[in-house]
Amino acid sequence: MDFPISPDSAPTFTTHLQRLLTQCGYVVIDNTGTYGISTKSHVRAFQRSKGLNSTGLCDVTTWKLLVEAHWKLGDRLLYLKTPMFRGDDVAQMQGKLSWLGFDTGKIDGTFGPNTHKGLADFQINVGMTGDGICGPGTIAELNRNYGRSSLTISNVKELIHFDALANKSIDKRIAVASTLALSVNTDLLRGSLNRAGFQAINLCHHDLTTLATLCNNAEVDLVIYLEYLPDLESTIAYFRGFQYTSEIGMSIAEHISTQIVDTLAKYQPDNKILLEGSKHRILQLTNAPCVLISLGHGNIWTAGATVLTTVLTDALSSWFNRF
């Protein structure tokens, strides 16, 4: 491939891109091989959904994420290898296993050692050879048994952790994360949270996979991710996807959304903030519950920075004080 794939690219490259977009649910109506308005708008929509700069041009990162997202469970044999399998098919398998009570770790679409163990445990439980290889027979057993539980093991672990946290007189650990563009805002919020009694750190990196790894290595209880996408609808989001919803993330996101709208009205003319479950990359890859705060009006991050910091600190303090 010759990246970025753009209107000037060879029709063959554009055709491959259009096929991937369609397989991911972004149905392109441009002529095959023509990088027109539909192709560009769908690339932008996919980039926004993954927290990438929505340029409308397909760079290497966008291509890799499209490849991951196009896989469906059963398209390929899954097993533990180096480099590890990554994709939506892995996440679908993890979600089914988690619903059945088999712990694969975070439902992150990466086939690592925890996923291998969870899969092998399931296979042994249903009378199969516990080889940790997911093929047609294992998928058939997953589909036959899936749906009999009311909660996933990931939900249970998350709820148990926060229940234990509520009963301990220790500072709650929060990572305030963003790309480099909002480093000043993350530092403001970090300082405010520490003054409010939290143990907060701020982490910034241009690459979301690296940023999620930094958050995971810090072993925090909660991640707040700040995002600025100009002229797009403001959103507060939590992780939802692959048969899993972060109950803690959803609860915190709902609480923040009720606190933030009226206070920020003067900085955001339309005064609208969308609350949604999302498969945004940072939400998917962080081990701790994560809340995405994406505000599309630049003056919120500049003139309204102090007000925003205060609102978020108060909202998080009042949520944790409910325990």
pLDDT tens figures, 144-164:
886 655 578 888 889 888 888
Domain boundary among 150, 166, 200: 150
For residue 5, being part of any structural domain is answered with no
DSSP state for residue 172 in the 8-state scheme: P
**Predicted confidence (pLDDT) at residue 272 exceeds the cutoff of 90:** no
> Residue 238: which domain range?
158-320
- Residue 138 sits in the same domain as residue 162: no
Assess whether 197 and 312 both reside in one domain. Answer: yes
Question: What is the secondary structure of 39-78 as a DSSP string?
Answer: HHHHHHHHHHHTT----SSB-HHHHHHHHHHH--TTSS-B
pLDDT in the model for residue 147:
61
Q: Same domain for 311 and 189? A: yes
Which tens digit of pLDDT belongs to each residue from 169-199?
A: 678 999 999 999 999 999 999 999 999 999 9
Cα separation, 160 vs 237, in Å, equals: 22
pLDDT, one tens digit per residue, over 212-262 is 999 999 999 999 999 998 867 889 999 998 878 999 999 999 999 998 887
Q: According to the model, what pLDDT value does residue 54 have?
A: 87
Is the same domain home to 248 and 171? yes
- Amino acid in the structure at residue 225: Y
DSSP string, 208-219: HHHHHHHHHHTT
Number of structural domains found in the chain: 3
- Measure the N-to-C terminal CA separation of the chain; round to a whole number of Å: 53
- What is the separation of C-alpha 146 from the centre of its chain, rounded to a whole number of angstroms? 24
pLDDT, the chain, mean: 92
- 156, with CB counted inside 10 A (0-12, 13-18, 19+), is middle
Same domain for 312 and 200: yes
Q: Which has the higher per-residue pLDDT, 231 or 284?
A: 284
Please answer whether residues 148 and 100 qualify as being in contact, where contact means their C-beta atoms are separated by less than 8 angstroms.
Answer: yes
Structure tokens at 196: 């409010």
Q: 238 and 201: one domain?
A: yes
How far apart (Å, rounded) are the C-alpha atoms in residues 47 and 65? Answer: 9
Indicate whether 248 and 294 sit together in one domain: yes
**pLDDT per position as a tens digit, 61-111:** 999 999 999 999 999 999 999 999 999 999 999 999 998 889 998 899 999
